[in-house]
Structure 1
Amino acid sequence: MNWDMFLVMEFVGRWSLRDFIGGSPFSEAETRALMRQLLAGVRAMHAAGMAHRDIKPGNILVGAGCGLKICDLGMATTAPPPYEEFMVGTLWYNSPEQLTGRGQYDAKAADMWALGCVMVELLTGGPVFTSETAEEHLDELTDLRNYEIACQDSLAFRGLPGLSPAGCEVLAGLLAFDGDKRMKAETALQHRWLTEEADSPAVLECLAKLAS
Protein backbone atom coordinates (compact mmCIF):
# COMPACT_ATOMS: atom_id res chain seq x y z
CA MET A 1 0.00 0.00 0.00
CA ASN A 2 1.28 3.46 -0.87
CA TRP A 3 1.05 6.17 1.72
CA ASP A 4 1.19 9.90 1.15
CA MET A 5 2.68 12.09 3.84
CA PHE A 6 1.49 15.65 4.42
CA LEU A 7 2.97 18.33 6.62
CA VAL A 8 0.44 20.74 8.10
CA MET A 9 2.23 24.01 8.76
CA GLU A 10 1.40 27.51 9.88
CA PHE A 11 0.14 29.84 7.17
CA VAL A 12 2.21 32.99 7.55
CA GLY A 13 1.15 34.84 4.42
CA ARG A 14 2.57 35.60 1.02
CA TRP A 15 4.86 38.50 1.88
CA SER A 16 8.58 38.18 2.43
CA LEU A 17 10.98 40.68 3.95
CA ARG A 18 12.20 41.33 0.40
CA ASP A 19 8.78 42.76 -0.44
CA PHE A 20 8.96 45.21 2.47
CA ILE A 21 12.49 46.48 1.88
CA GLY A 22 11.84 47.60 -1.69
CA GLY A 23 14.28 50.52 -1.71
CA SER A 24 13.03 52.06 1.54
CA PRO A 25 15.49 51.95 4.45
CA PHE A 26 14.28 50.98 7.90
CA SER A 27 15.26 53.14 10.85
CA GLU A 28 17.85 51.83 13.29
CA ALA A 29 15.11 51.18 15.85
CA GLU A 30 13.04 49.23 13.31
CA THR A 31 16.11 47.34 12.15
CA ARG A 32 16.93 46.41 15.74
CA ALA A 33 13.39 45.09 16.29
CA LEU A 34 13.63 42.93 13.18
CA MET A 35 17.18 41.73 13.84
CA ARG A 36 16.21 40.72 17.37
CA GLN A 37 13.68 38.30 15.88
CA LEU A 38 16.07 36.96 13.26
CA LEU A 39 18.89 36.44 15.74
CA ALA A 40 16.55 34.60 18.11
CA GLY A 41 15.40 32.36 15.27
CA VAL A 42 18.95 31.55 14.17
CA ARG A 43 20.00 30.96 17.78
CA ALA A 44 17.25 28.33 18.11
CA MET A 45 18.22 26.75 14.79
CA HIS A 46 21.89 26.57 15.70
CA ALA A 47 21.12 25.22 19.18
CA ALA A 48 19.30 22.36 17.46
CA GLY A 49 22.45 21.62 15.47
CA MET A 50 21.16 22.98 12.15
CA ALA A 51 22.61 25.64 9.84
CA HIS A 52 20.37 27.26 7.23
CA ARG A 53 22.95 28.32 4.59
CA ASP A 54 20.53 30.44 2.56
CA ILE A 55 19.37 33.26 4.81
CA LYS A 56 18.22 36.26 2.77
CA PRO A 57 15.22 38.64 2.77
CA GLY A 58 13.39 36.46 0.24
CA ASN A 59 13.53 33.51 2.66
CA ILE A 60 12.11 35.47 5.59
CA LEU A 61 8.31 35.56 5.71
CA VAL A 62 6.48 38.44 7.37
CA GLY A 63 3.37 37.50 9.32
CA ALA A 64 0.87 39.25 11.55
CA GLY A 65 2.32 42.03 13.67
CA CYS A 66 5.49 41.87 11.57
CA GLY A 67 6.46 38.54 13.07
CA LEU A 68 9.33 37.08 11.06
CA LYS A 69 9.64 33.43 10.08
CA ILE A 70 12.79 32.01 8.48
CA CYS A 71 11.74 29.59 5.75
CA ASP A 72 13.11 27.49 2.86
CA LEU A 73 15.47 25.05 4.52
CA GLY A 74 16.38 23.35 1.25
CA MET A 75 20.08 24.11 1.79
CA ALA A 76 20.05 23.48 5.53
CA THR A 77 22.42 20.92 7.03
CA THR A 78 23.17 19.24 10.32
CA ALA A 79 26.39 17.72 8.99
CA PRO A 80 29.92 18.95 9.74
CA PRO A 81 32.27 20.00 6.92
CA PRO A 82 33.48 19.31 4.33
CA TYR A 83 30.53 20.48 2.27
CA GLU A 84 29.91 20.69 -1.45
CA GLU A 85 32.69 22.31 -3.46
CA PHE A 86 30.08 24.16 -5.53
CA MET A 87 28.32 27.23 -4.20
CA VAL A 88 25.17 26.74 -2.15
CA GLY A 89 22.73 29.43 -1.16
CA THR A 90 22.52 32.84 -2.81
CA LEU A 91 25.68 34.54 -4.05
CA TRP A 92 25.25 37.97 -2.43
CA TYR A 93 24.75 36.42 1.02
CA ASN A 94 27.62 33.93 0.84
CA SER A 95 30.46 34.43 3.31
CA PRO A 96 34.10 34.78 2.19
CA GLU A 97 34.93 31.25 3.28
CA GLN A 98 32.01 29.80 1.30
CA LEU A 99 33.30 31.42 -1.86
CA THR A 100 36.66 29.65 -1.81
CA GLY A 101 35.00 26.52 -3.19
CA ARG A 102 36.85 24.17 -0.86
CA GLY A 103 33.82 23.22 1.22
CA GLN A 104 35.68 23.75 4.49
CA TYR A 105 33.75 26.29 6.51
CA ASP A 106 31.61 26.67 9.61
CA ALA A 107 28.05 26.67 8.27
CA LYS A 108 26.72 28.40 11.39
CA ALA A 109 29.26 31.20 10.99
CA ALA A 110 28.13 31.50 7.36
CA ASP A 111 24.57 32.06 8.62
CA MET A 112 25.80 34.92 10.80
CA TRP A 113 27.48 36.58 7.81
CA ALA A 114 24.19 36.37 5.91
CA LEU A 115 22.39 38.00 8.84
CA GLY A 116 24.91 40.84 8.67
CA CYS A 117 24.08 41.31 4.99
CA VAL A 118 20.37 41.37 5.82
CA MET A 119 21.00 43.98 8.52
CA VAL A 120 22.77 46.26 6.06
CA GLU A 121 20.00 45.79 3.53
CA LEU A 122 17.44 46.84 6.13
CA LEU A 123 19.45 49.96 6.92
CA THR A 124 20.12 50.95 3.31
CA GLY A 125 16.98 49.76 1.57
CA GLY A 126 18.78 47.92 -1.19
CA PRO A 127 21.00 44.96 -2.06
CA VAL A 128 24.40 45.04 -0.43
CA PHE A 129 26.35 43.68 -3.38
CA THR A 130 26.10 43.73 -7.16
CA SER A 131 28.61 41.07 -8.22
CA GLU A 132 27.57 38.41 -10.73
CA THR A 133 30.15 35.67 -10.11
CA ALA A 134 31.75 34.10 -7.06
CA GLU A 135 35.12 35.53 -8.10
CA GLU A 136 33.73 39.06 -8.38
CA HIS A 137 31.93 38.69 -5.08
CA LEU A 138 35.06 37.55 -3.27
CA ASP A 139 36.86 40.60 -4.65
CA GLU A 140 34.06 42.83 -3.30
CA LEU A 141 34.32 41.24 0.11
CA THR A 142 37.97 42.10 0.48
CA ASP A 143 36.79 45.68 1.09
CA LEU A 144 35.37 44.45 4.38
CA ARG A 145 38.65 43.36 5.92
CA ASN A 146 38.95 46.63 7.82
CA TYR A 147 35.24 46.98 8.45
CA GLU A 148 35.64 46.58 12.21
CA ILE A 149 37.90 49.69 12.19
CA ALA A 150 35.80 52.02 10.07
CA CYS A 151 32.27 50.69 10.08
CA GLN A 152 30.55 53.98 9.38
CA ASP A 153 32.91 54.91 6.55
CA SER A 154 32.83 51.60 4.72
CA LEU A 155 32.62 52.18 0.98
CA ALA A 156 31.49 48.59 0.60
CA PHE A 157 28.19 49.50 2.24
CA ARG A 158 27.89 53.04 0.92
CA GLY A 159 28.45 54.37 4.43
CA LEU A 160 26.09 54.10 7.40
CA PRO A 161 26.49 57.49 9.09
CA GLY A 162 23.24 57.14 11.02
CA LEU A 163 24.13 53.87 12.72
CA SER A 164 24.98 54.15 16.41
CA PRO A 165 28.33 52.91 17.75
CA ALA A 166 26.56 49.99 19.43
CA GLY A 167 24.80 49.02 16.21
CA CYS A 168 28.09 49.34 14.38
CA GLU A 169 29.70 46.89 16.81
CA VAL A 170 27.04 44.27 16.13
CA LEU A 171 27.28 44.73 12.37
CA ALA A 172 31.07 44.53 12.44
CA GLY A 173 30.82 41.34 14.52
CA LEU A 174 28.42 39.74 12.07
CA LEU A 175 30.58 40.74 9.11
CA ALA A 176 33.95 39.75 10.52
CA PHE A 177 35.93 38.51 7.51
CA ASP A 178 37.39 35.65 9.57
CA GLY A 179 34.62 33.15 10.27
CA ASP A 180 36.28 32.04 13.51
CA LYS A 181 35.98 35.60 14.85
CA ARG A 182 32.41 36.18 13.68
CA MET A 183 29.77 36.98 16.27
CA LYS A 184 27.44 34.15 17.24
CA ALA A 185 23.69 34.62 17.56
CA GLU A 186 23.73 34.19 21.35
CA THR A 187 26.54 36.73 21.71
CA ALA A 188 24.73 39.22 19.49
CA LEU A 189 21.54 38.92 21.52
CA GLN A 190 23.52 39.71 24.67
CA HIS A 191 25.12 42.79 23.12
CA ARG A 192 24.17 46.20 24.50
CA TRP A 193 22.62 47.21 21.18
CA LEU A 194 19.89 44.66 21.85
CA THR A 195 19.78 44.53 25.65
CA GLU A 196 19.90 48.25 26.49
CA GLU A 197 17.44 49.34 23.83
CA ALA A 198 13.92 47.95 24.11
CA ASP A 199 11.53 48.05 21.17
CA SER A 200 9.32 51.08 21.73
CA PRO A 201 5.52 50.78 21.27
CA ALA A 202 5.75 53.31 18.42
CA VAL A 203 8.25 51.16 16.51
CA LEU A 204 6.26 47.98 17.06
CA GLU A 205 3.06 49.72 15.97
CA CYS A 206 4.76 51.02 12.85
CA LEU A 207 6.04 47.57 11.92
CA ALA A 208 2.67 45.98 12.63
CA LYS A 209 0.95 48.47 10.29
CA LEU A 210 3.53 47.71 7.63
CA ALA A 211 2.69 44.01 7.74
CA SER A 212 -1.08 44.46 7.88
Structure 2
Amino acid sequence: MINRIINLIFPPKCIFCGTILNTDTKIEICKECYEQISFKEEASINPQGKYNYYDSVICVCDYSGIVKEAIRRYKFYNKPSYYRTFARLLAQKIKELTQWQKFDMIVSVPLHPNRERNRGYNQSYLIARQLSRELGIKNESRLLVRVKNTNSQSLLKRDDRLINIKDAFKITNASKIEGKTMFLVDDILTTGSTLNECSRVLKEAGAKKIVAAVIASGRR
Protein backbone atom coordinates (compact mmCIF):
# COMPACT_ATOMS: atom_id res chain seq x y z
CA MET A 1 0.00 0.00 0.00
CA ILE A 2 2.82 2.42 0.88
CA ASN A 3 4.59 1.65 -2.39
CA ARG A 4 1.39 2.26 -4.36
CA ILE A 5 0.91 5.63 -2.68
CA ILE A 6 4.52 6.58 -3.42
CA ASN A 7 4.05 5.51 -7.04
CA LEU A 8 0.97 7.71 -7.33
CA ILE A 9 2.94 10.73 -6.12
CA PHE A 10 6.13 9.83 -7.99
CA PRO A 11 5.12 7.69 -11.00
CA PRO A 12 7.66 4.98 -11.83
CA LYS A 13 9.77 5.53 -14.92
CA CYS A 14 11.71 3.14 -17.15
CA ILE A 15 15.32 3.16 -15.93
CA PHE A 16 16.52 3.09 -19.53
CA CYS A 17 14.41 5.65 -21.42
CA GLY A 18 12.41 7.48 -18.74
CA THR A 19 8.96 6.48 -20.03
CA ILE A 20 6.31 6.81 -17.29
CA LEU A 21 4.95 3.39 -16.30
CA ASN A 22 1.84 2.08 -14.55
CA THR A 23 1.71 2.68 -10.80
CA ASP A 24 1.62 -1.08 -10.08
CA THR A 25 4.86 -1.70 -12.00
CA LYS A 26 7.45 -3.68 -10.05
CA ILE A 27 10.24 -3.87 -12.61
CA GLU A 28 10.73 -0.36 -13.93
CA ILE A 29 11.40 -1.19 -17.57
CA CYS A 30 9.10 -0.40 -20.47
CA LYS A 31 8.20 -3.09 -23.00
CA GLU A 32 10.31 -1.56 -25.76
CA CYS A 33 13.48 -1.38 -23.62
CA TYR A 34 12.90 -4.84 -22.14
CA GLU A 35 13.04 -6.28 -25.63
CA GLN A 36 16.45 -4.62 -26.17
CA ILE A 37 18.09 -6.33 -23.18
CA SER A 38 20.50 -9.11 -24.05
CA PHE A 39 19.62 -11.63 -21.35
CA LYS A 40 22.06 -14.43 -20.60
CA GLU A 41 20.76 -17.68 -22.04
CA GLU A 42 23.27 -19.86 -20.22
CA ALA A 43 22.35 -21.31 -16.85
CA SER A 44 25.37 -19.61 -15.31
CA ILE A 45 28.88 -18.33 -16.03
CA ASN A 46 31.58 -20.87 -15.34
CA PRO A 47 34.32 -19.66 -12.99
CA GLN A 48 37.58 -19.08 -14.84
CA GLY A 49 41.07 -19.84 -13.64
CA LYS A 50 42.59 -22.33 -11.25
CA TYR A 51 42.15 -20.48 -8.00
CA ASN A 52 38.47 -19.56 -7.89
CA TYR A 53 36.88 -19.47 -4.47
CA TYR A 54 33.28 -18.86 -5.53
CA ASP A 55 31.44 -21.96 -6.68
CA SER A 56 29.37 -20.55 -9.54
CA VAL A 57 28.08 -17.31 -11.03
CA ILE A 58 24.52 -16.27 -11.79
CA CYS A 59 24.22 -13.35 -14.20
CA VAL A 60 21.13 -11.66 -15.62
CA CYS A 61 22.39 -10.11 -18.85
CA ASP A 62 25.28 -8.99 -21.03
CA TYR A 63 27.19 -5.88 -20.06
CA SER A 64 26.38 -3.99 -23.24
CA GLY A 65 24.00 -1.49 -24.80
CA ILE A 66 21.32 0.08 -22.61
CA VAL A 67 22.24 -2.14 -19.65
CA LYS A 68 25.84 -0.93 -19.63
CA GLU A 69 24.69 2.69 -19.84
CA ALA A 70 22.17 2.22 -17.00
CA ILE A 71 24.70 0.55 -14.70
CA ARG A 72 27.13 3.41 -15.28
CA ARG A 73 24.40 5.93 -14.37
CA TYR A 74 23.53 3.84 -11.32
CA LYS A 75 27.11 3.74 -10.06
CA PHE A 76 28.53 7.09 -11.06
CA TYR A 77 25.69 9.51 -11.77
CA ASN A 78 23.58 9.35 -8.62
CA LYS A 79 20.77 7.05 -9.70
CA PRO A 80 20.39 4.87 -6.58
CA SER A 81 16.70 4.18 -7.27
CA TYR A 82 17.70 1.73 -10.01
CA TYR A 83 18.51 -0.83 -7.32
CA ARG A 84 14.90 -2.02 -7.09
CA THR A 85 14.70 -3.03 -10.73
CA PHE A 86 18.18 -4.58 -10.80
CA ALA A 87 17.42 -6.60 -7.66
CA ARG A 88 14.10 -7.85 -9.00
CA LEU A 89 15.67 -8.96 -12.27
CA LEU A 90 18.34 -10.79 -10.27
CA ALA A 91 15.73 -12.38 -8.00
CA GLN A 92 13.90 -13.77 -11.05
CA LYS A 93 17.11 -15.33 -12.37
CA ILE A 94 18.02 -16.82 -9.00
CA LYS A 95 14.57 -18.38 -8.65
CA GLU A 96 14.93 -19.92 -12.12
CA LEU A 97 18.36 -21.42 -11.52
CA THR A 98 18.77 -22.30 -7.85
CA GLN A 99 17.15 -23.89 -4.83
CA TRP A 100 17.29 -20.43 -3.30
CA GLN A 101 15.22 -21.39 -0.25
CA LYS A 102 18.19 -23.43 1.01
CA PHE A 103 20.58 -20.46 1.14
CA ASP A 104 21.42 -18.97 4.52
CA MET A 105 22.36 -15.39 3.68
CA ILE A 106 23.13 -12.68 1.17
CA VAL A 107 26.39 -10.70 1.29
CA SER A 108 27.32 -7.76 -0.92
CA VAL A 109 30.75 -6.66 -2.11
CA PRO A 110 31.65 -3.73 0.17
CA LEU A 111 33.05 -0.34 -0.74
CA HIS A 112 35.74 1.33 1.31
CA PRO A 113 34.07 3.86 3.69
CA ASN A 114 35.82 6.78 1.97
CA ARG A 115 34.49 5.80 -1.45
CA GLU A 116 31.02 5.09 -0.11
CA ARG A 117 30.90 8.54 1.48
CA ASN A 118 31.97 10.15 -1.79
CA ARG A 119 29.40 8.23 -3.83
CA GLY A 120 26.67 8.46 -1.21
CA TYR A 121 25.75 4.77 -1.34
CA ASN A 122 27.10 1.30 -2.07
CA GLN A 123 25.38 0.14 -5.25
CA SER A 124 25.94 -3.55 -4.50
CA TYR A 125 24.58 -3.23 -0.96
CA LEU A 126 21.36 -1.61 -2.22
CA ILE A 127 20.82 -4.52 -4.62
CA ALA A 128 21.56 -7.05 -1.87
CA ARG A 129 19.14 -5.37 0.53
CA GLN A 130 16.28 -5.49 -1.97
CA LEU A 131 17.22 -9.03 -3.02
CA SER A 132 16.92 -10.02 0.63
CA ARG A 133 13.36 -8.71 0.64
CA GLU A 134 12.49 -10.44 -2.64
CA LEU A 135 13.82 -13.84 -1.55
CA GLY A 136 13.23 -13.71 2.19
CA ILE A 137 16.91 -14.47 2.85
CA LYS A 138 18.75 -12.52 5.52
CA ASN A 139 21.10 -9.77 4.34
CA GLU A 140 24.37 -10.19 6.24
CA SER A 141 26.47 -7.74 4.23
CA ARG A 142 27.96 -6.19 7.37
CA LEU A 143 29.94 -9.39 7.92
CA LEU A 144 32.28 -8.42 5.06
CA VAL A 145 34.11 -5.08 5.09
CA ARG A 146 36.71 -3.44 2.87
CA VAL A 147 39.80 -2.35 4.80
CA LYS A 148 41.96 -1.28 1.87
CA ASN A 149 41.03 1.75 -0.22
CA THR A 150 42.06 0.30 -3.57
CA ASN A 151 42.43 2.00 -6.92
CA SER A 152 39.51 1.62 -9.30
CA GLN A 153 39.58 -1.90 -10.76
CA SER A 154 38.11 -0.70 -14.06
CA LEU A 155 41.32 1.18 -14.84
CA LEU A 156 43.62 -1.82 -14.38
CA LYS A 157 44.66 -4.88 -16.37
CA ARG A 158 43.83 -8.36 -15.08
CA ASP A 159 47.13 -9.05 -13.29
CA ASP A 160 47.17 -5.58 -11.78
CA ARG A 161 43.62 -6.08 -10.53
CA LEU A 162 44.69 -9.18 -8.62
CA ILE A 163 47.49 -7.27 -6.90
CA ASN A 164 45.31 -4.23 -6.26
CA ILE A 165 42.52 -6.18 -4.55
CA LYS A 166 44.73 -8.54 -2.51
CA ASP A 167 43.92 -8.42 1.24
CA ALA A 168 41.36 -5.65 0.70
CA PHE A 169 38.60 -7.39 2.69
CA LYS A 170 38.08 -8.90 6.11
CA ILE A 171 35.37 -10.71 8.04
CA THR A 172 33.81 -9.04 11.09
CA ASN A 173 32.35 -12.20 12.67
CA ALA A 174 33.59 -15.56 11.37
CA SER A 175 31.22 -17.53 13.62
CA LYS A 176 28.26 -16.33 11.53
CA ILE A 177 29.96 -17.42 8.30
CA GLU A 178 31.06 -20.95 9.21
CA GLY A 179 29.11 -23.66 7.40
CA LYS A 180 26.80 -21.22 5.63
CA THR A 181 25.69 -21.03 2.00
CA MET A 182 25.35 -17.57 0.50
CA PHE A 183 24.81 -15.36 -2.49
CA LEU A 184 27.64 -12.85 -2.98
CA VAL A 185 26.17 -9.82 -4.78
CA ASP A 186 27.88 -7.33 -7.07
CA ASP A 187 26.71 -5.20 -9.98
CA ILE A 188 29.02 -6.42 -12.75
CA LEU A 189 31.55 -9.19 -13.33
CA THR A 190 34.61 -8.46 -15.45
CA THR A 191 37.70 -10.47 -14.56
CA GLY A 192 36.12 -11.73 -11.34
CA SER A 193 39.10 -10.66 -9.20
CA THR A 194 37.02 -8.68 -6.70
CA LEU A 195 34.42 -11.41 -6.28
CA ASN A 196 37.17 -13.98 -5.97
CA GLU A 197 39.02 -12.09 -3.24
CA CYS A 198 35.78 -11.61 -1.31
CA SER A 199 35.06 -15.31 -1.71
CA ARG A 200 38.54 -16.22 -0.52
CA VAL A 201 38.13 -14.51 2.84
CA LEU A 202 34.60 -15.88 3.19
CA LYS A 203 35.77 -19.45 2.48
CA GLU A 204 38.70 -19.05 4.89
CA ALA A 205 36.15 -18.01 7.52
CA GLY A 206 34.32 -21.29 6.90
CA ALA A 207 31.70 -20.49 4.24
CA LYS A 208 30.36 -23.73 2.75
CA LYS A 209 29.13 -22.50 -0.65
CA ILE A 210 29.28 -19.16 -2.45
CA VAL A 211 27.25 -18.33 -5.52
CA ALA A 212 28.21 -14.99 -7.04
CA ALA A 213 25.14 -13.09 -8.25
CA VAL A 214 25.58 -10.16 -10.63
CA ILE A 215 23.44 -8.03 -12.92
CA ALA A 216 25.70 -8.08 -15.95
CA SER A 217 28.93 -9.42 -17.39
CA GLY A 218 30.85 -9.39 -20.64
CA ARG A 219 31.98 -12.96 -19.98
CA ARG A 220 30.38 -16.11 -21.36
More helix by share: 1
- By the TM > 0.5 criterion, same fold? no
TM-score (norm 1): 0.30
Superposition TM-score, scaled by structure 2 size: 0.29
